[in-house]
């Protein structure tokens, strides 16, 4: 049976009673946190910072307490088994603060469903997303992006090729691809995140390509150049004072050091002024 209808996606006034608040902090720097997000977090009795789908720089974590109050870190096991948090939200105001926009992760959608079933009010405070910022900062046209993908760390013999297959399909369909890089080498979401480096992303993509080649067979999609030559845009530490946007071949990009959290854009053929935007970012090499 569903709940009483109170657990909806609403911009609810913070003066209301108990429930679970999912609050977006924006990317990287707490200056991106909206006034409504700050007000909602301050008003809560208990605050958690979700710590495995994205992370804040250490100095921003240190500043968070001064802005909204005491908080605890919640890793995957707590978020995906949220009975304790949901029980707290039955009689008090509980916040789960998420870097970026909170409803971009499947587990967070699951929280809404669970609250619906329990009849517990559920509120979402959106945040600026690093994924939307990445598209804007690239200078490429937003309507020309296809499905985004995540490159996972390999686990033993496990190496899915579906991310590369989707990237190549996007290319063949005239669409750019935003490529997110994994934060969790263990795949468990328990240990502190260790963001993937550009060089690791290149190696994993090349391993995927080799596995596809081993399978053989006809494909409706392909790329007319070697993987290492693919025009690539690297976006590092989006939303922070250390933000960087650099373009070049995938081989060139993989040699760039520094930065904490990275994502890539693997474009299709450029149109309009997109080539000028790509060439402009080469100056930052």
Q: Is the pLDDT of residue 6 over 50?
A: no
User: For position 247, what pLDDT does the model report?
Assistant: 97
Q: Are residue 186 and residue 236 in the same domain, yes or no?
A: yes
Q: Are residue 170 and residue 201 in the same domain, yes or no?
A: yes
Domain C-terminal end among 128, 158, 174: 128
**121: CATH:** 3.40.1010.10
Range in 9-13, 105-109, 140-144, 262-266 the model is least confident about? 9-13
User: For position 13, what pLDDT does the model report?
Assistant: 55
Rg (CA), the chain: 20
Domain C-terminal end among 128, 154, 180: 128
Provide the residue range defining the domain that includes 268.
131-284
User: For position 254, what pLDDT does the model report?
Assistant: 95
Q: Are residue 94 and residue 191 in the same domain, yes or no?
A: no
pLDDT tens digits for 16-40? Answer: 789 999 999 999 889 999 999 999 9
Q: Is the pLDDT of residue 9 over 80?
A: no
Q: Are residue 44 and residue 168 in the same domain, yes or no?
A: no
Question: Does 244 map to a domain?
Answer: yes
Domain C-terminal end among 113, 128, 143: 128
Question: Does 9 map to a domain?
Answer: no
Confidence of residue 14 (pLDDT cuts 50, 70, 90): low
Q: Is the pLDDT of residue 279 over 80?
A: yes
Domain tally for the chain? 2
Q: Are residue 36 and residue 62 in the same domain, yes or no?
A: yes
Question: What predicted TM-score, i.e. pTM, was given to this entire model?
Answer: 0.86
Residue with the larger pLDDT of the pair 29 and 187: 29
Question: Does 35 map to a domain?
Answer: yes
User: For position 8, what pLDDT does the model report?
Assistant: 43
User: For position 68, what pLDDT does the model report?
Assistant: 95
User: For position 7, what pLDDT does the model report?
Assistant: 41
Q: Are residue 96 and residue 161 in the same domain, yes or no?
A: no
Q: Is the pLDDT of residue 94 over 50?
A: yes
Q: Are residue 103 and residue 173 in the same domain, yes or no?
A: no
Question: Does 192 map to a domain?
Answer: yes
């Amino acid at each position: 049976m569903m709940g009483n209808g109170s657990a909806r996606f609403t911009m609810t006034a913070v003066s209301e009673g108990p429930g679970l608040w999912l609050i977006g902090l924006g990317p990287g720097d707490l200056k991106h946190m909206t006034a409504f997000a700050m007000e909602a977090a301050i008003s809560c009795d208990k605050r958690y910072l979700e710590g495995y789908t994205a992370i804040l720089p250490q100095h921003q974590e240190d500043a968070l307490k001064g802005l909204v109050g005491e908080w605890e870190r919640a890793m995957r096991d707590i978020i995906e088994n949220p009975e304790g948090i949901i029980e707290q939200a039955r009689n008090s105001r509980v916040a789960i603060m998420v870097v970026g926009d909170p409803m971009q992760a499947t587990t967070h959608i699951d929280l809404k469903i669970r609250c619906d079933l329990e009849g517990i009010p559920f509120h979402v405070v959106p945040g600026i997303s690093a994924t939307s910022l990445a598209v804007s900062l690239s200078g490429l046209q937003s309507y020309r992006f296809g499905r985004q993908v995540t490159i996972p760390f390999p686990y033993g013999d496990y190496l899915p090729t579906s991310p590369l297959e989707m990237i190549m399909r996007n290319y063949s369909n005239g669409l750019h691809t935003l490529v997110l890089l994994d934060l969790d080498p263990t795949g468990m979401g328990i240990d502190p995140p260790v963001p993937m480096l550009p060089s690791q992303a290149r190696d994993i993509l090349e391993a995927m390509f080799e596995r596809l080649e081993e399978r053989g067979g006809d494909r409706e999609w392909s790329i007319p150049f070697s993987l290492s030559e693919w025009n690539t845009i690297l976006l590092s530490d989006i939303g922070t004072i250390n933000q960087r946007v650099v373009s070049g071949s995938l081989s060139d990009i993989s040699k760039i050091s520094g930065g904490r959290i990275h994502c890539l854009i693997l474009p299709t053929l450029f149109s309009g002024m997109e080539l000028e935007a790509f060439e402009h970012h080469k100056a930052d090499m």
